[in-house]
Amino acid sequence: MARDYYAILGLTPDATDNDIKKAYRRLARKYHPDVNSTEEAAEKFSEISIAQELLLDPEKRRIIDMGGDPLAGPSGAPGNMGGFGGFSDIFDAFFGGGAGTRGPRSRVQPGNDALLRTTITLEEAYSGVEQEVTIDTAVVCETCEGTGSESKQKPETCTHCDGMGEVQQVQRSFLGNVMTTSTCPACGGYGEIIPDPCPTCDGAGRVKARREKVIQIPAGISDTMRVRMAGQGEVGHGGGPAGDLYVEVDVKPHPVFTREKDNLHLTVHVPMVDAALGSTVAVQSLDGTMIDFVIPAGTQPADRLVVSGKGMPRLRGEGFGNMIAHVDVTVPRELDDKSRELLEKLRRHRAEEAGVHADESEHGSVFSKLRNRFRK
């Protein structure tokens, strides 16, 4: 059954738009939650707000006059009001609440953080380095010392908004007198005015400037990490506290070493004879010292040799990572007569033949693992 929206407002179907507005305002003062906090009053206020909205819409009122309900969906329940963000907004529009209670905003505001990027070598990441960077941010105006005033006097209360930072205007609409609140055009919402703005910063208390700063990049820093310098960012409006400066570090690729966390990886090329008989390979570390990798006799391709404590310094904690050498056994593509003769003697002595052999190791070859998996 359709709801009687006229009866909700205490009206008859011959009521004019003016009658509807008057009835709504009279009932709104009685049932608004700010005046009457009971659950019954809240429900009543919701009903009269919906009734007024529908009866002031000509198309929806025509549906009501024909005995229908413009809000009834498939289940007969009222739908979305749509026109207002909430019933308290309707009351605020009539009686001037809500936005007018915000008050002025502070002239002194904290500054934003600043972000710079810099590039270093892996050697510099290993040892740490001091680096000079150029910063383009807002700094405190030296002329007014951040006050925004040429004479450095305190701001005066804005007479246009009486220090509220906002002004209110009453406008007539089909809903009646509607009060709107907007930022004060005289003070910009601060509630105070600087009578003699600083000519250098135009009253902002800060100016853009370029400055040089030395940053300390710690040993062990990784690619894309950031160094934070507190209070070295952008100064806020009105000479407010500066934000922080973040320097993002880009570490250049190294021709020898590849970094994995705190470990350093490299590839050592070992002739096949040295791999068979054993040898030593000297590697220059990132700090310039020489490190000897002992190649044991019988070293196989892709074997790994580890020297503990010769990797990167740990950024958070003591000690160093490891240096890990991946063995690449090199086979000569061309042989002179003497080398070929010696290798021929070795082949006859070893009496080994190329072919397919079963992998008798504990875990088996890659192919044997695949074979066993398919047999399951």
Neighbours of 332 (CB within 10 A): 11
Which tokens in the block code for residue 11? 């009206």
Q: What CA–CA distance (Å, rounded) separates 132 from 214? A: 4
Q: What CA–CA distance (Å, rounded) separates 107 from 205? A: 10
Does 161 belong to an annotated binding site?
Answer: yes
- Please choose, from the candidates 209, 108, 208, 210, the residue with its C-alpha nearest in 3D space to the C-alpha of residue 149: 108
Does 198 belong to an annotated binding site?
Answer: yes
Helix axis angle, 87-95 to 17-31, nearest 10°: 100
Does 353 belong to an annotated binding site?
Answer: no
Does 171 belong to an annotated binding site?
Answer: no
The three-state secondary structure class of 27 is: helix
Q: What CA–CA distance (Å, rounded) separates 272 from 299? A: 9
Cβ atoms of 41 and 48 closer than 8 Å:
no
Helix, strand, coil shares of the chain as percentages rounded to 5? 25, 30, 45
Q: What is the DSSP string of 309-323?
A: T-SPBPSSSSSB--E
Using the Cα atoms of residue 131, residue 136, residue 141 and residue 143 in order, give the sign of their dihedral.
positive
Does 320 belong to an annotated binding site?
Answer: no
Torsion angles phi and psi, residue 345, rounded to 5: -65, -40
Cβ atoms of 128 and 217 closer than 8 Å:
yes
Does 120 belong to an annotated binding site?
Answer: no
Does 158 belong to an annotated binding site?
Answer: yes
Contacts of residue 8, Cβ cutoff 8 Å, sequence gap at least 6? 47, 48, 51
Q: Enumerate the known binding-site residues for Zn(2+).
A: 141, 144, 158, 161, 184, 187, 198, 201
Q: Which residues are annotated as a binding site?
A: 141, 144, 158, 161, 184, 187, 198, 201
